[in-house]
Copies of this chain bind each other. A is one copy, B any other.
């Protein structure tokens, strides 16, 4: 090694010994005949000192010339520091350098390599290798590393076998868009990159592997929202001979283990809530359960009194913002503007102030008297000083809007506490959801999810009412993972494809290999997949996943550091047997 120690390693007991350190120049000061250099590496920072009359003048001259981010190698004696620095692990000492070598120079970096940087997002992405030198980014990657090792530790203990499934697989039109890979050896044919190893992990169950896991890259060619990536990492797991409860216990156990090991937090047993209840109480299948503010439905009390907005609504539903009766006109207008935003889409907001004196003031006083409003307040279990916020309209749309309002109010009232962890299982998802656009049912989870045995017969009579043994793990309102018990019977799988509008031929061509496998002794099985990038962000209490990915892509799917994707040569295209369609100049 070019060094004897790292920059985070030296302590008082090293005082008196001679060491060689390597690293990057974090800072260099030159004052009154003394030069100090803060030398940085992944492990910490150590101070180097060069002093006139003590250090050889040529070395001092060298030290004066090094700039920020130069890579240097310094040898010297570890000495006690005059002014100790409690904030640094190495703050008791410094190195009195007697030999200095510049291993590599550096141009002035385009942004400061400090915990707080002056670099904008674009610049930091272009120079990602400099951004990673910053503690907050490096620490996120190290957290990710530790998480990976801990996930493996737990799953190994539980007898899961890590199996790598292929990346060059087959394109299937179900689900999101595939990235495809032209095959040179198989003319006019394409591989696809996996959106998940779903069918392979099921085949591993048929193969008798019993418990499988993988931490694996998955790919979706979708239009990217702010916090989506075309390639992302999944903790992918599957178990044979299990029922839903076994999967829940196993992965609730994993999550508790991770919180304990990573954060020293002992999580309570997870709350469990059905999809229907989650939608009715929170308007979301991933409710933030760090706070209550449950929905209260008001149709029985609010309809038939002549207020047409309520009378024509499928659902009248509200929340109780505790202690907000003193909201000003302006604040209430702000909330109305919030719910009327196009992405939220409510037509308006009704409020009822439950004043401290016991009286009510609402935006619908014209239609409802004090007694009626008091009846509402009772239903909301509101107290004097509370504020009821009520929306009305089509059921699903209204719930969705009220969910946004609930989260907004939770945020405003400081109820979404970063230091609190509310983990839950959302259960009993519908098997299918109706798509108005294509006028057919889609699989809510995926086409391999088993219907609940007691609901199977509704597949004919009322497909939308069939529930699945499907479950999501939700932490602080974020979906950390999800899974289901799978179909393991050929006839049921074929029936499922039929319900989803596949012709027999399509089903056979795309998933014949899986249905074929089900004929040779497929065990009952189920599993789960966690979004690993997101799980890291959740664990760190962060919103964005991007900094937990070493080299993320931007919202256009581009890697701006390496400038990819890029044009390829005509020779490559010819070998692959493909041509570009001339881009339309639009």
Q: Which residues of B contact A350 (CB under 8 A)?
A: none
Alpha-carbon distance A226/B565, docked complex (angstroms): 32
Whether A107 contacts B519 by the Cβ 8 Å rule is yes
Residues of B within 8 A of A186 (CB): 556-558, 565
A161 and B181 contact, Cβ closer than 8 Å, known pairs A169-B559, A521-B69, A523-B103: no
Taking a contact as CB atoms under 8 Å apart, the answer to whether A550 and B217 are in contact is no
Residue A36 is within 8 A (CB to CB) of chain B in the complex? no
In the complex, whether A132 has a CB less than 8 A from a CB of chain B is yes
How far apart are the CA atoms of A190 and B574 in the complex, in Å? 14
Whether B42 pairs with A565 at a CB distance below 8 angstroms is no
Q: Which A residues between 128 and 187 are near B, CB-CB below 8 angstroms?
A: 128-133, 138, 141-142, 144-145, 148-149, 152, 156, 161-171, 173, 177-187
- Nearest-CB residue, chain B, relative to A208: B133
Q: Are B206 and A129 in contact (CB under 8 A)?
A: yes
Interface string of A5-20 (1 = CB under 8 A from B): 0100000000000000
A327 within 8 A of B: no
Q: Are A550 and B165 in contact (CB under 8 A)?
A: yes
Which residues on B sit within 8 Å (CB–CB) of A565? 168, 170, 181, 183, 186, 189-191
CA distance A243 to B2 in the complex (A): 7
User: Are A105 and B521 in contact, with the CB atoms below 8 A?
Assistant: yes
Measured in the bound complex, the distance between the Cα atoms of B209 and A138 in whole Å is 8
A71 at the interface (CB under 8 A from B): yes
> Is A448 an interface position by the 8 A CB rule?
no
Q: Is residue A443 within 8 Å, beta carbon to beta carbon, of the partner chain?
A: no
Chain B: CB-nearest residue to A518: B104
Does A460 touch B at the CB level, under 8 Å? no
Cβ of A242 within 8 Å of any chain B Cβ, yes or no, is yes
Distance between A191 CB and nearest chain B CB, rounded to angstroms: 5
**Contact partners of A179 in chain B: CB under 8 A:** 168, 181, 191
Q: Is the CB of B583 within 8 A of A209?
A: no
Q: A513–B131 Cα gap in the complex (Å)? A: 15
Bound complex: CA A176 to CA B393 (Å):
61
Encode A452-463 as 1/0 by CB contact (under 8 A) with B: 000000000000
Contact A209 B42 (CB under 8 A): yes
Shortest C-beta distance, A171 to chain B (Å), equals 5
Which of B145, B170, B206 has a CB less than 8 Å from the CB of A559? B170
Chain B residues with CB under 8 Å of A412's CB are none
CB distance from A162 to the nearest CB of B (A): 5
1/0 per residue A91-106: CB within 8 Å of B? 0000000000001111
Residue from B144, B167, B564 in contact with A217 in the complex, judged by beta carbons closer than 8 Å: B167
Structural contact, B149 and A156, CB atoms closer than 8 A: yes
Would B580 and A577 count as touching, CB distance under 8 A? yes
Residues in B with CB closer than 8 Å to A569 are 173
Within 8 A of B (CB), among A552-566: 553, 556-559, 561-566
Checking B133, B163, B164, B191 against A564 with a beta-carbon cut-off of 8 angstroms, the contacting residue is B191
| Also in contact, A1 and B246, with CB within 8 A (given A145-B161, A149-B162, A567-B189) | yes
| CA gap between A177 and B518 in the complex, in Å | 38
Decide: A129 near B42, CB < 8 A? Known: A2-B524, A164-B233, A561-B513. Answer: no
A578 lies within 8 A of chain B by Cβ: yes
Query: Which residues of the partner chain B approach A43 to less than 8 Å between Cβ atoms?
Result: 210
Report the separation of the CA atoms of residues A583 and B2 in the bound assembly, to the nearest whole angstrom: 57
Task: Let me know if A581 is at the binding interface, CB within 8 A.
Answer: yes
Interface size of A by Cβ–Cβ distance < 8 Å? 124
Query: A223 at the A/B interface (Cβ < 8 Å)?
Result: yes
Determine if A79 is an interface residue (Cβ-Cβ < 8 Å). Answer: no
Partner of A103 from the list B132, B156, B164, B524 (CB cut-off 8 Å) is B524
- Tell yes or no: A534 within 8 A of B by CB: no
Question: Is A188 part of the contact surface with B, judged by Cβ < 8 Å?
Answer: yes
CB pair B105 A141 closer than 8 Å: no
CB-based contact A551/B129 at 8 Å = no
Contact residue among B69, B165, B512 (Cβ-Cβ distance under 8 Å from A551): B165
B contact residues around A128 at 8 Å (CB): 203, 207
Partner of A69 from B173, B231, B520 at Cβ < 8 Å: B520
The reply to whether B168 and A230 form a contact with Cβ atoms under 8 Å apart is yes
B161 touches A523 (CB 8 A): no
Pairwise interchain contact B184-A219, C-beta atoms closer than 8 A: no
A579 contacts the other chain (CB 8 A): yes
Q: Are A207 and B133 in contact (CB under 8 A)?
A: yes
Q: How far is the CA of A557 from the CA of B181 in the complex (A)?
A: 12
B553–A104 touching, CB < 8 Å: no
- CB nearest neighbor in B for A73: B241
Interface centre among A164, A199, A513, A551, by most B CB within 10 Å? A164
Does A3 have its Cβ within 8 Å of any Cβ on chain B? Answer: yes
A267 at the interface (CB under 8 A from B): no
Q: Do A566 and B180 touch across chains, with their CB atoms under 8 A apart?
A: no
Given contact pairs A132-B204, A553-B168, A184 touches B188 in the complex (Cβ within 8 A): no
Which residues 530-586 of A sit at the B interface, judged by CB distance below 8 A? 549-551, 553, 556-559, 561-569, 572, 574-581, 583
Residue A276 interfacial (CB < 8 Å): no
Known A104-B523, A577-B581; 4 more pairs at CB < 8 Å = A129-B204, A133-B208, A165-B551, A513-B562
18 A/B residue pairs, CB under 8 Å, sorted by A: A3-B241, A43-B210, A69-B521, A104-B488, A104-B521, A105-B521, A129-B520, A132-B207, A138-B208, A141-B163, A145-B161, A163-B550, A166-B231, A168-B564, A177-B572, A181-B193, A190-B565, A578-B578
